[in-house]
Homo-oligomer: A and B are copies of this chain.
Amino acid sequence: VPHPPLRWSDEGDRGPAVVLLDQTRLPTAEVELVCRDPAELIAAIQRLAVRGAPLLGIAGGYGVALAAARGLDIHAAARELAQARPTAVNLATGVARVLAASERQEPAGEEPKRPTSGDPVAALAAARALEAEEAVASAAMAEYGLTLVPDGARILTHCNTGALAVGGTGSAFAVVLAAHRAGRLRQLWVDETRPLLQGARLTAWEAAAHGVPYSVLPDCAAAALMAAGQVDLVLVGADRIAADGSVANKIGTYGLAVSAAHHGVPFVVVAPRTTLDPATPDGAAIVIEQRAATEVTTLAGRPIAPEGCTAFNPAFDVTPPQLITALVTDVGVLQSPGRDGLAGLLGR
């Protein structure tokens, strides 16, 4: 079992801490980063030492628990934690949930004696509950997803969807791991996932740590691998799923889906129900973040393109439901996901 991406620590003389596995140092070094107050945790979130929407929610929750344990102003800490990164809704949600649990309840009619400090026991319990729920959702996705994995499967995945991004053992990666443990996985193919290489750096590290047989590949080699009959199933995660079943996920996902359809390879999305966004009607309504050209035009600080080079560098793309064979969630599998099926899933 690899290092946990995040843990609460009460050890040592220096009091409680949130201990992160510094993801910026992976895969070459496994370095723990000890955050003893919310400010240190915020800095770690901002430099991507911890990342992945669901994992950021858990980290934010523990950040509020840390503020409570330190006797700090929990409202100020929650505000700053929630704003550490703008996009992941899970961060704000996790923070708000632990904040609500840690607000002191005074007897009716009495003013709280220390209105800004929180209940450290309740806060920690709420953060632990959030973490446990994500682990339960991950286990459920693994179980449901396993029903779609054939014997001797060669599975292709993209980006990072394991413990380093999600609670438990992840979303798509949780299914991979379940297949491995069930003796059903012949090979995991890991797209390197340019430009930030979350596949080569993080998914490969998780696969190696769990003894999963794996190889990485340049993203653009996936189609050739499918043509060679070397892929039985594509499993990816999701950042947001619109009401019509369109899936926003890491750039490159859509191209994989097009290729999988061309080769008759099942294309399966694995995501917790919390990723469904009924307020977004369809794929066209999903706003795609455009990221800096330097992510593409430099490597390790060294330019790999001419000076002044611009880049098309969206963080995500959108895969329409017509290209998705099945959606695996923590409450069940939806074949050929569409508007009605998703509405039904949200009603469960």
Contact = CB atoms under 8 A, between A and B. Distances in A.
A193 to B, nearest CB: 8
Contacts of A300: 299-300, 302
- Residue of A217, A296, A307 contacting most chain B CB atoms (<10 Å): A217
A235 B172 CA distance: 35
A222 B252 CA distance: 8
Interface stretch (A9-17, A100-108, A223-231): A223-231
User: What is the interface of chain A mostly: helix, strand, loop, or mixed?
Assistant: mixed
A158 to B, nearest CB: 8
Contacts of A222: 255
B259 A296 contact: no
Contacts of A28: 302-303
Interface residues of A, number: 55
Interface in A270-327: 296-297, 299-300, 302-314, 317-318
Interface in A222-274: 222-225, 227, 251-252, 254-256, 258-259, 261-262
Interface string A179-213: 00000000001011111010011001100100000
Contact of A225 (B195, B217, B312, B318): B312
Contacts of A197: 304
Contacts of A205: 306
B312 A221 contact: yes
B201 A305 contact: yes
A261 B221 CA distance: 17
A281 to B, nearest CB: 18
Contacts of A191: 220
A302 B318 CA distance: 32
Nearest to A311: B216
Q: How many copies does the complex hold?
A: 2
A318 B304 CA distance: 27
A15 to B, nearest CB: 34
A195 B262 CA distance: 24
A197 to B, nearest CB: 5
A218 interface: yes
B218 A252 contact: yes
Given A200-B305, A208-B306, A296 B224 contact: no
Contacts of A312: 189, 215-217, 221, 225
B218 A313 contact: yes
Contact of A311 (B217, B305, B317): B217
Contact of A255 (B194, B224, B306, B308): B224
B258 A262 contact: yes
Given A218-B219, A220-B252, A297-B200, A27 B194 contact: no
Nearest to A299: B299
Contacts of A313: 217-218, 221
A220 B220 contact: yes
A258 B27 CA distance: 33
The 3 closest A-B pairs by CB, nearest first: A220-B252, A223-B255, A219-B220
21 contacts: A27-B304, A191-B220, A192-B296, A193-B220, A200-B305, A204-B306, A205-B306, A208-B309, A217-B296, A218-B313, A219-B219, A220-B252, A221-B313, A223-B254, A224-B317, A225-B312, A258-B258, A258-B259, A261-B262, A262-B262, A300-B300
